[in-house]
Amino acid sequence: MTRFTTDVLEGTCLPIFLGGKYVASKGPEIDSFDPKTGQPWCKIPDCTPDEVDAAVNAASEAMRDAAWCDLTQSQRGLMMLKLADIVDREAARLAALEVRENGKLLREMEALANALPVALRYFAGMADKIEGTTIPVNKPDVLNFTIREPLGVVAVIVPWNSPLFMMMRALAPCLACGNAVVVKPSEHAATGVIAFAELVVEAGFPPGVFNVVTGLGHSVGDALIRHPGVDKVDFTGGPATGRLIAKGAAENLTPTALELGGKSPNVVCNDANLDAAVTGVISGIFAAAGQTCVAGSRCFVQSDVYDQVVEMIVERTRDIAIGDPCDDAVQLGPLSLWSQVEKVAEFVQSATSQGARLVHGGGRPEGLGDGWFVEPTVFADVTNDMRIAREEIFGPVLGILKFENDDDLIEQANDSDFALASGIWTRDINRALRFMRRIHAGMVWINTYRSPSIMSPSGGFKHSGYGKHNGFPAIEEFSRIKTVVIDHSGISQDPFVMRVTK
Ligand code: NAD
């Protein structure tokens, strides 16, 4: 066992993982940067087309290997439970690796790493409860039933913000359903996923059930999603990439599930507990430095408490401690990519020029060396037509908008290309439930925000994508229904008439 750590990997190039083994890629190397210092720290291979092919072939072989496909559902579940225990043991190491490559707070990444075994155990428990149904088709001599079977080879493509957590949302239900998986992590952050691979072997999964290829999206990712041996593509990432993936996969009629970006409304009503609401607003946009798909980046505040809430948000933002993501006292680490720092700067400029009022931040903090830090930034007097209200920034930039009443709120909040998450802070449950019914969003949080659970389906609508992770819908996402019809009448029927139900 290799036991990858940040020390072991420093200055080296990652292997890839094919058919149960680590192998050195023949592709060129890409620098992976430590966002805290802005310096490269290890290298990620840009796999060759042959290596992508080998990964898909290894997964296809696993789907024909009795060691995997003849396991009973309970045996699959038990193997997943074993993997969960191993991941539990290694969670701290995996979290440290991911912090090094994406710069998010260590305690955030530890929480996400600790959620990995939770997901494995949840779906392990489902493995032997995946079943079909018997259908009364109104034909006395016919038995009609369905079985649920695995899809085959699932390509899982994940972004850089939470690679293992995003991967696990697909991997755990995929394994429970009996699929084989090829994961392609981001070219910016792959070490966690690579280090995870050896744990799958230790748990006893047969070779080829789990494979990892690394590299650029337009080469490795594109080759993977177009591969004829792939039966489903599960993608988490940006909307522009999602569109390319849906088009590319369509060439082979390969189904896709797309978890894309958002511009989620987080609403503060005049009857809310304002203290709790402001905490929710801060956590919605500044946790993970705003690099979260569900970021509550459009904060709607009711007009009669608007000035008060803006003041409270600014006060809380002023106190945010920026610095080393491994320091327990720090609340905002660096951004994961230099291009994200540039993107934030560009949006600060665009919001200012479109008339939004900068009430906090907007620049880069001093005294933190070459790290990719930006200040938590708050704009007031934002209107829904401004770019800052329409486009995903994926950084710590909050736009505060005003609404007069509930109809006005819904009209503005739904006037967006995205429909991923939403939040509302109010003491009036009727008001909250009316919002819940009318808002275009895959998730609605009432008096809380950014509060997911592996048991609770997640996924968006509109340009935020389609398909569901988590909960039982994930089992439906990664399995398919086969219908079986048995005629036990023993009667020979007219061959030229369809045996349709009367
Ligand atoms: P991205 O779309 O640039 O990349 C995501 C992954 O897709 C990477 O592995 C990348 O290499 C790959 N990729 C890029 N082009 C590809 C192509 N043509 N074919 C195949 N694969 C390709 O996204 P990112 O910058 O890594 O992540 C940020 C985005 O991810 C944001 O928009 C964010 O909202 C979204 N995101 C969504 C969720 C969710 O659950 N909805 C969660 C996290 C992040």
394-421 pLDDT tens trace: 999 999 999 999 999 999 999 999 999 9
Which atom, in ligand 1's list, is nearest to the CA of 187? 11
**Is residue 501 pLDDT above 90, yes or no?**
no
Choose which residue among 236, 335, 341, 416 to substitute to test ligand 1 binding: the one with the highest number of ligand atoms within 8 A of its C-beta: 236
pTM of the complete model: 0.97
The protein residue whose alpha carbon is closest to atom 43 in ligand 1 is: 293
Contact call for residues 165 and 116 (beta carbons, < 8 A) = yes
The protein residue whose alpha carbon is closest to atom 8 in ligand 1 is: 186
Ligand 1 geometric centre to CA of 217 (Å): 9
Ligand 1 geometric centre to CA of 158 (Å): 6
Q: Quickly list DSSP for 142-190.
A: EEEEEEEEE-SEEEEE--SSSHHHHHHHHHHHHHHHT-EEEEE-BTTB-
Contact call for residues 330 and 284 (beta carbons, < 8 A) = no
258-289 pLDDT, tens digit each: 999 999 999 999 999 999 999 999 999 999 99
Task: Read off the tokens for 327.
Answer: 């320091």
Give dist(CA 408, CA 267) in Å, integer: 12
3-32 pLDDT, tens digit each: 899 999 999 999 999 999 999 999 999 999
Q: What is the pLDDT of residue 502?
A: 73
**Is residue 162 pLDDT above 90, yes or no?**
yes
**Is residue 1 pLDDT above 70, yes or no?**
no
Give dist(CA 339, CA 372) in Å, integer: 9
299-334 pLDDT, tens digit each: 999 999 999 999 999 999 999 999 999 999 999 999
Ligand 1 geometric centre to CA of 260 (Å): 7
Contact call for residues 43 and 25 (beta carbons, < 8 A) = no
The protein residue whose alpha carbon is closest to atom 40 in ligand 1 is: 259
381-395 pLDDT, tens digit each: 999 999 999 999 999
Average pLDDT of the chain to the nearest whole number: 97
The protein residue whose alpha carbon is closest to atom 31 in ligand 1 is: 238
Ligand 1 geometric centre to CA of 349 (Å): 25
Q: What is the pLDDT of residue 73?
A: 98
Catalytic residue (choose from 101, 293, 299, 477): 293
Contacts of 431 (CB under 8 A, 6+ apart): 269, 271, 406, 424
Task: Read off the tokens for 66.
Answer: 């009795």
Ligand 1 geometric centre to CA of 361 (Å): 27
Which atom, in ligand 1's list, is nearest to the CA of 169? 40
Instruction: Count other Cβ atoms within 10 Å, centred on residue 251.
Output: 10
Give dist(CA 160, CA 241) in Å, integer: 14
- What share of the chain in percent tops pLDDT 90? 98
Mean pLDDT of 122-130: 98
Give dist(CA 145, CA 135) in Å, integer: 6
The protein residue whose alpha carbon is closest to atom 38 in ligand 1 is: 293
Q: β-pairing, 421-425 with 265-268? A: parallel
135-146 pLDDT, tens digit each: 999 999 999 999
Catalytic residue (choose from 51, 90, 198, 259): 259
Residue 79 zone, left/alpha/beta (φ > 0; ψ -120 to 50; rest): alpha
- Which residues have C-beta atoms less than 6 Å from ligand 1? 157-161, 166, 184-187, 217-218, 221-222, 225, 236-238, 241, 244-245, 259-262, 293, 392, 394, 420
CA 458 to chain CA centroid, nearest Å: 9
Which atom, in ligand 1's list, is nearest to the CA of 248? 19
Which atom, in ligand 1's list, is nearest to the CA of 238? 32
Q: Report the chain's terminal Cα–Cα distance, integer Å.
A: 63
- Angle in degrees, CA 499, 500, 502, rounded to 5: 120
Any catalytic annotation for residue 326?
no
The protein residue whose alpha carbon is closest to atom 12 in ligand 1 is: 217
Q: Which long-range contacts (CB under 8 A, 24 or more apart) does 401-406 make?
A: 401/298, 401/299, 401/300, 401/301, 402/300, 402/301, 402/302, 402/303, 402/306, 403/267, 403/300, 403/301, 403/302, 403/303, 404/302, 404/303, 406/431, 406/434, 406/435
Contacts of 411 (CB under 8 A, 6+ apart): none
Which atom, in ligand 1's list, is nearest to the CA of 216? 11
CA dihedral 162, 164, 166, 168 (to 10 degrees): -160
Give dist(CA 137, CA 500) in Å, integer: 10
Ligand 1 geometric centre to CA of 166 (Å): 11
Any catalytic annotation for residue 293?
yes
Please choose, from the candidates 391, 162, 399, the residue with its C-alpha nearest in 3D space to the C-alpha of residue 266: 399
Task: Read off the tokens for 47.
Answer: 């796999």
Contact call for residues 264 and 440 (beta carbons, < 8 A) = no
Please tell me whether residue 487 adopts helix, strand or coil conformation: strand
Ligand 1 geometric centre to CA of 236 (Å): 5
Which atom, in ligand 1's list, is nearest to the CA of 420? 41
Q: β-pairing, 418-419 with 461-462? A: antiparallel
